[in-house]
Amino acid sequence: MLLLPVAEWKTAENSGFKPLLGFLFCLFCFPSFCLKKMNNETTTLISLKEAMKRVDHKLQALEAQFKELDFTKDNLTQKFEHHSKTLASQAAQDELWTAVLALRFTSMELNILYSYVIEVLICLHTRVLEKLPDLVRGLPTLASVLRRKVKNKRIRIVWESVLEESGLQEEDITALCTFFIAHGNKAEHYTSKVRQMYIRDVNFMITNMVNNQALQDALLRAVQVTEKGKAVKAPAEQKSSLKELIPSVKN
């Protein structure tokens, strides 16, 4: 068209050249525009995928942190529970020792209670040795049984069975041993006949003069084991008077 004369070129331009130029422009520019748009969309998609990967990594990191926090929380909870149990046990032991040292018994009454306590402890030790005849030399005292049962499963199983047979619990042994340690050096053992001469109802005496529940239960069970061979439920509180407890001078 450029080879046409100027007059014809102008005529051609006026008649249909402009639409042709628009068509050519669209023909060459639209693909470029589309390509550019596709490139932009591809770039956006890639950026979105990278962003999703970063979010996924952050979520994984957060999940790992939460797992670590849960693990730390469980450890702290276990330590707290163990510490709470330890404090509760120490508080109970302190209360028990206070109750044992605060007992206001006469020498005769203390001797009677000591007699029941020492007979029960000896009975338990004897029953353990009967079940473990090969360990007689290694278990000369009840203290050795209590000490070795912690690490020796066989001794522990026998000890638990002896307690069950006697109707006693570990708390009872703790209370009885505490009583023995506190008063054993100054108390005297009374036989059954002598005990009956001094007092008729030892259960009533214990119930009314021992305020600490753990110590009271342990002493009552010690009386039952000594007299009946096995402890049962704590007897009902008697209504007899103090005068009925102590025999008359004539008796």
pLDDT tens, per residue, the chain with 251 residues: 444 454 554 454 555 555 555 555 555 565 665 656 566 667 777 777 888 888 888 888 888 888 888 888 888 888 888 778 777 778 888 999 999 999 989 999 999 999 999 999 999 999 999 999 999 999 999 999 999 999 999 999 999 999 999 999 999 999 999 999 999 999 999 999 999 888 889 999 999 999 999 999 999 999 999 998 887 754 444 444 444 444 443 43
Q: Which amino acid is at 64?
A: A
- Give the per-residue pLDDT at 56: 84
Q: How many Cβ atoms from other residues are within 10 Å of residue 186's Cβ?
A: 10
**Cβ-contact 149, 169 below 8 angstroms:** no
pTM listed for this prediction: 0.65
- Give the per-residue pLDDT at 92: 83
Q: In this structure, what token pair is assigned to residue 53?
A: 């990967």
- Give the per-residue pLDDT at 41: 64
Q: How far apart are CA 223 and CA 191, in angstroms?
A: 13
State CA 206 to chain mean position distance: 33
- Give the per-residue pLDDT at 86: 76
Q: Which of 239, 243, 249 is nearest to 200 (CA)?
A: 243
Distances 72 to 69, 77, 78, 83, 120 between C-alpha atoms, Å: 5, 8, 10, 16, 46
Instruction: Compute, in degrees rounded to 10, the torsion defined by CA atoms 213, 218, 221, 225.
Output: 180
- Give the per-residue pLDDT at 233: 58
Q: Which of 190, 200, 185 is nearest to 116 (CA)?
A: 190
**Cβ-contact 189, 107 below 8 angstroms:** no
